[in-house]
Protein backbone atom coordinates (compact mmCIF):
# COMPACT_ATOMS: atom_id res chain seq x y z
CA UNK A 1 0.00 0.00 0.00
CA UNK A 2 1.29 3.49 -0.82
CA UNK A 3 2.33 5.66 2.14
CA UNK A 4 0.51 9.00 1.94
CA UNK A 5 2.55 10.38 4.84
CA UNK A 6 0.78 12.86 7.12
CA UNK A 7 -1.58 14.01 4.35
CA UNK A 8 -3.55 10.78 4.36
CA UNK A 9 -7.21 10.25 3.50
CA UNK A 10 -8.42 11.78 6.76
CA UNK A 11 -6.41 14.98 6.28
CA UNK A 12 -7.00 15.17 2.52
CA UNK A 13 -10.77 14.93 2.97
CA UNK A 14 -10.80 18.16 5.02
CA UNK A 15 -7.72 19.94 3.58
CA UNK A 16 -9.44 22.58 1.43
CA UNK A 17 -12.03 23.32 4.12
CA UNK A 18 -9.56 23.52 6.98
CA UNK A 19 -7.19 25.74 4.94
CA UNK A 20 -10.07 27.91 3.68
CA UNK A 21 -8.20 31.18 4.32
CA UNK A 22 -5.36 29.96 2.04
CA UNK A 23 -7.90 29.26 -0.73
CA UNK A 24 -9.30 32.82 -0.68
CA UNK A 25 -8.72 34.77 -3.90
CA UNK A 26 -6.64 37.33 -1.99
CA UNK A 27 -4.26 34.59 -0.84
CA UNK A 28 -3.94 32.89 -4.22
CA UNK A 29 -3.81 35.71 -6.78
CA UNK A 30 -0.50 37.27 -5.65
CA UNK A 31 1.15 33.83 -5.65
CA UNK A 32 -0.06 33.07 -9.15
CA UNK A 33 0.93 36.52 -10.46
CA UNK A 34 4.40 36.04 -8.98
CA UNK A 35 4.84 32.58 -10.52
CA UNK A 36 3.42 33.51 -13.95
CA UNK A 37 6.10 36.18 -14.23
CA UNK A 38 8.92 33.80 -13.31
CA UNK A 39 7.63 30.98 -15.52
CA UNK A 40 7.69 33.18 -18.64
CA UNK A 41 7.13 30.87 -21.59
CA UNK A 42 8.46 27.83 -19.70
CA UNK A 43 6.99 25.12 -17.48
CA UNK A 44 6.47 25.12 -13.72
CA UNK A 45 7.17 22.30 -11.26
CA UNK A 46 5.27 22.28 -7.97
CA UNK A 47 6.77 20.24 -5.15
CA UNK A 48 3.98 19.11 -2.83
CA UNK A 49 1.21 19.99 -5.30
CA UNK A 50 -1.48 18.75 -2.93
CA UNK A 51 -5.06 19.42 -4.01
CA UNK A 52 -3.95 21.98 -6.60
CA UNK A 53 -4.56 25.19 -4.65
CA UNK A 54 -1.87 27.02 -6.68
CA UNK A 55 -1.31 24.63 -9.62
CA UNK A 56 -4.88 24.86 -10.95
CA UNK A 57 -5.11 28.67 -11.16
CA UNK A 58 -1.53 28.80 -12.48
CA UNK A 59 -2.42 26.34 -15.24
CA UNK A 60 -5.52 28.42 -16.03
CA UNK A 61 -3.17 31.36 -16.65
CA UNK A 62 -1.48 29.32 -19.41
CA UNK A 63 1.56 27.96 -17.53
CA UNK A 64 2.09 24.20 -18.03
CA UNK A 65 2.41 22.75 -14.52
CA UNK A 66 3.72 19.39 -13.35
CA UNK A 67 3.50 18.30 -9.72
CA UNK A 68 5.17 15.91 -7.32
CA UNK A 69 3.38 14.68 -4.20
CA UNK A 70 3.65 11.63 -1.98
CA UNK A 71 -0.04 11.59 -1.06
CA UNK A 72 -2.38 9.72 -3.39
CA UNK A 73 -5.25 11.01 -1.24
CA UNK A 74 -4.32 14.67 -1.86
CA UNK A 75 -3.71 14.07 -5.58
CA UNK A 76 -7.12 12.37 -5.89
CA UNK A 77 -8.73 15.67 -4.74
CA UNK A 78 -6.74 17.57 -7.39
CA UNK A 79 -7.87 15.09 -10.04
CA UNK A 80 -11.53 15.52 -9.11
CA UNK A 81 -11.47 19.29 -9.71
CA UNK A 82 -12.13 20.98 -13.09
CA UNK A 83 -8.81 21.00 -14.99
CA UNK A 84 -7.21 18.59 -12.53
CA UNK A 85 -6.94 15.70 -14.97
CA UNK A 86 -4.85 17.85 -17.31
CA UNK A 87 -2.10 18.41 -14.72
CA UNK A 88 0.64 15.77 -14.69
CA UNK A 89 1.54 14.49 -11.24
CA UNK A 90 4.31 12.13 -10.22
CA UNK A 91 3.67 10.38 -6.90
CA UNK A 92 6.81 10.28 -4.78
CA UNK A 93 9.07 12.12 -2.36
CA UNK A 94 9.91 15.56 -3.76
CA UNK A 95 13.41 15.43 -2.25
CA UNK A 96 14.39 12.60 -4.58
CA UNK A 97 11.72 12.00 -7.24
CA UNK A 98 12.72 12.88 -10.79
CA UNK A 99 10.37 13.86 -13.60
CA UNK A 100 10.79 14.29 -17.35
CA UNK A 101 11.83 17.56 -18.94
CA UNK A 102 13.05 20.84 -17.52
CA UNK A 103 11.34 23.81 -15.92
CA UNK A 104 11.80 27.57 -15.82
CA UNK A 105 10.47 27.69 -12.25
CA UNK A 106 10.06 25.22 -9.40
CA UNK A 107 8.12 26.20 -6.28
CA UNK A 108 7.44 24.90 -2.80
CA UNK A 109 4.87 26.94 -0.89
CA UNK A 110 2.90 27.03 2.36
CA UNK A 111 5.79 25.90 4.65
CA UNK A 112 6.06 22.58 2.83
CA UNK A 113 9.90 22.59 2.74
CA UNK A 114 9.65 22.06 6.51
CA UNK A 115 7.80 18.78 5.99
CA UNK A 116 11.26 17.40 5.23
CA UNK A 117 12.34 16.74 8.80
CA UNK A 118 16.10 16.28 8.32
CA UNK A 119 18.77 18.64 7.05
CA UNK A 120 19.95 15.94 4.62
CA UNK A 121 16.48 15.69 3.06
CA UNK A 122 16.21 19.48 2.70
CA UNK A 123 19.65 19.62 1.03
CA UNK A 124 18.61 16.76 -1.28
CA UNK A 125 15.47 18.72 -2.18
CA UNK A 126 17.49 21.75 -3.31
CA UNK A 127 19.76 19.44 -5.33
CA UNK A 128 16.75 17.72 -6.89
CA UNK A 129 15.27 21.07 -7.87
CA UNK A 130 18.58 22.25 -9.38
CA UNK A 131 18.60 19.10 -11.54
CA UNK A 132 15.15 20.00 -12.90
CA UNK A 133 15.39 23.70 -13.68
CA UNK A 134 16.89 25.28 -16.78
CA UNK A 135 19.95 27.55 -16.58
CA UNK A 136 18.58 30.92 -15.48
CA UNK A 137 15.57 29.18 -13.91
CA UNK A 138 14.35 29.80 -10.38
CA UNK A 139 13.35 27.96 -7.22
CA UNK A 140 10.74 29.73 -5.06
CA UNK A 141 10.12 28.82 -1.43
CA UNK A 142 7.47 30.28 0.90
CA UNK A 143 8.10 29.41 4.53
CA UNK A 144 7.76 30.89 7.99
CA UNK A 145 10.65 32.44 9.87
CA UNK A 146 11.26 30.28 12.96
CA UNK A 147 9.42 31.96 15.85
CA UNK A 148 12.41 31.84 18.17
CA UNK A 149 12.22 35.54 19.09
CA UNK A 150 8.78 34.90 20.62
CA UNK A 151 9.92 31.84 22.55
CA UNK A 152 10.90 32.72 26.11
CA UNK A 153 13.93 30.87 27.52
CA UNK A 154 12.88 27.41 28.67
CA UNK A 155 9.47 27.60 26.92
CA UNK A 156 8.61 25.13 24.17
CA UNK A 157 5.06 26.11 23.08
CA UNK A 158 3.87 28.99 20.90
CA UNK A 159 0.19 29.44 20.05
CA UNK A 160 -0.44 30.23 16.37
CA UNK A 161 -4.24 30.11 16.42
CA UNK A 162 -6.81 30.46 19.18
CA UNK A 163 -10.45 30.79 18.10
CA UNK A 164 -13.77 29.50 19.43
CA UNK A 165 -13.46 26.17 17.61
CA UNK A 166 -9.80 25.83 16.51
CA UNK A 167 -6.55 25.91 18.44
CA UNK A 168 -3.00 25.58 17.13
CA UNK A 169 0.26 25.29 19.05
CA UNK A 170 3.80 24.85 17.79
CA UNK A 171 5.98 22.76 20.11
CA UNK A 172 9.63 23.70 19.61
CA UNK A 173 12.62 21.38 20.06
CA UNK A 174 15.31 24.03 19.75
CA UNK A 175 18.29 21.70 20.19
CA UNK A 176 17.18 19.69 17.13
CA UNK A 177 15.60 22.47 15.03
CA UNK A 178 12.35 20.58 15.20
CA UNK A 179 8.81 21.59 15.85
CA UNK A 180 5.52 19.78 16.03
CA UNK A 181 2.41 21.70 15.00
CA UNK A 182 -0.54 20.57 17.09
CA UNK A 183 -3.96 21.31 15.59
CA UNK A 184 -7.09 20.88 17.70
CA UNK A 185 -10.52 21.41 16.25
CA UNK A 186 -14.06 21.04 17.48
CA UNK A 187 -15.89 18.98 14.81
CA UNK A 188 -19.55 18.11 15.46
CA UNK A 189 -19.01 18.67 19.16
CA UNK A 190 -15.95 16.40 19.33
CA UNK A 191 -12.36 17.52 19.82
CA UNK A 192 -10.20 16.28 16.95
CA UNK A 193 -6.40 16.46 17.29
CA UNK A 194 -3.82 16.31 14.52
CA UNK A 195 -0.08 16.78 15.05
CA UNK A 196 2.59 17.07 12.34
CA UNK A 197 6.40 17.28 12.65
CA UNK A 198 8.49 19.90 10.84
CA UNK A 199 12.15 20.89 10.62
CA UNK A 200 12.57 24.65 10.76
CA UNK A 201 15.53 26.43 9.19
CA UNK A 202 16.78 29.99 9.30
CA UNK A 203 16.77 31.70 5.86
CA UNK A 204 20.59 31.70 5.81
CA UNK A 205 20.63 27.92 6.16
CA UNK A 206 18.35 27.65 3.13
CA UNK A 207 20.75 29.97 1.24
CA UNK A 208 23.57 27.56 2.05
CA UNK A 209 21.48 24.63 0.80
CA UNK A 210 20.90 26.55 -2.42
CA UNK A 211 24.64 27.24 -2.69
CA UNK A 212 25.41 23.52 -2.23
CA UNK A 213 23.00 22.86 -5.11
CA UNK A 214 24.65 25.50 -7.32
CA UNK A 215 22.01 28.22 -6.94
CA UNK A 216 22.24 31.80 -5.65
CA UNK A 217 19.74 34.04 -3.91
CA UNK A 218 18.04 36.42 -6.34
CA UNK A 219 15.36 37.90 -4.05
CA UNK A 220 13.89 37.55 -0.59
CA UNK A 221 10.55 39.17 0.20
CA UNK A 222 8.29 39.06 3.24
CA UNK A 223 5.26 38.16 1.11
CA UNK A 224 4.04 37.54 -2.43
CA UNK A 225 3.42 41.27 -2.98
CA UNK A 226 7.19 41.84 -2.72
CA UNK A 227 7.10 43.69 0.58
CA UNK A 228 10.66 43.97 1.95
CA UNK A 229 11.98 41.19 4.18
CA UNK A 230 12.90 42.68 7.58
CA UNK A 231 13.77 41.61 11.13
CA UNK A 232 10.02 41.69 11.89
CA UNK A 233 8.98 39.45 8.99
CA UNK A 234 7.20 36.29 10.08
CA UNK A 235 7.69 34.50 6.78
CA UNK A 236 9.72 34.83 3.59
CA UNK A 237 9.29 34.23 -0.09
CA UNK A 238 12.76 33.45 -1.40
CA UNK A 239 13.88 33.08 -4.99
CA UNK A 240 17.12 31.30 -5.86
CA UNK A 241 18.37 31.01 -9.42
CA UNK A 242 20.52 28.59 -11.33
CA UNK A 243 23.21 30.55 -13.20
CA UNK A 244 22.69 30.86 -16.96
C1 LIG B 1 0.62 21.89 3.23
S2 LIG B 1 0.27 20.86 1.86
C3 LIG B 1 0.49 22.04 0.55
C4 LIG B 1 -0.26 21.66 -0.69
C5 LIG B 1 -0.25 22.75 -1.76
N6 LIG B 1 1.08 23.05 -2.19
C7 LIG B 1 -0.92 24.00 -1.23
O8 LIG B 1 -0.27 25.04 -1.22
O9 LIG B 1 -2.09 23.94 -0.84
C10 LIG B 1 1.75 19.89 1.71
C11 LIG B 1 1.72 18.87 0.58
O12 LIG B 1 3.04 18.37 0.41
C13 LIG B 1 3.02 16.96 0.35
N14 LIG B 1 4.30 16.49 0.89
C15 LIG B 1 4.80 16.69 2.13
N16 LIG B 1 6.03 16.16 2.22
C17 LIG B 1 6.30 15.59 1.02
C18 LIG B 1 7.41 14.89 0.48
N19 LIG B 1 8.52 14.68 1.21
N20 LIG B 1 7.35 14.47 -0.78
C21 LIG B 1 6.23 14.69 -1.54
N22 LIG B 1 5.15 15.34 -1.09
C23 LIG B 1 5.19 15.81 0.16
C24 LIG B 1 1.82 16.54 1.15
O25 LIG B 1 1.35 15.27 0.75
C26 LIG B 1 0.84 17.66 0.85
O27 LIG B 1 0.07 17.38 -0.28
Cα-based distances in Å from 131 to 25, 28, 44: 32, 27, 14
Question: CA angle, 96 as apex, 18 and 215 as ends, to 5°?
Answer: 95
| Residue 71 CA, closest ligand 1 atom number | 25
Please tell me the distance between residue 96's alpha carbon and the centre of ligand 1 in angstroms: 14
Sheet with strand 178-187: strands edge to edge: 157-162, 166-173, 178-187, 190-199
Please tell me the distance between residue 93's alpha carbon and the centre of ligand 1 in angstroms: 9
Give the span between the Cα atoms of 188 and 100, in whole angstroms.
45
Q: pTM for this one? A: 0.96
| Residue 93 CA, closest ligand 1 atom number | 20
**CB of 116 sitting under 6 A from ligand 1:** yes
**CB of 70 sitting under 6 A from ligand 1:** yes
Residue 115 has pLDDT above 70, yes or no: yes
**CB of 69 sitting under 6 A from ligand 1:** yes
Give the span between the Cα atoms of 154 and 178, in whole angstroms.
15
Q: Average pLDDT in the 51-78 region?
A: 98
- Residue 187: what pLDDT? 86
Structure confidence by residue, pLDDT tens digits, 157-170:
999 999 999 999 99
| Percent of the chain residues past pLDDT 70, beyond the cut | 99
Q: Check if the beta carbon of residue 121 is closer than 8 Å to that of residue 47.
A: no
Amino acid sequence: MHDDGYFDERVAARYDESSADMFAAGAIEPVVDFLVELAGSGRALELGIGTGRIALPLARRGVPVHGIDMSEAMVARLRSKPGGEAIGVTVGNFATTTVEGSFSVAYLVYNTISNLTTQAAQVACFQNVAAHIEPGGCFVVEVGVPGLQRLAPGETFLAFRVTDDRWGFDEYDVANQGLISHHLESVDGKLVRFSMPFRYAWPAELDLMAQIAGMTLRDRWSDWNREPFTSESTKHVSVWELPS
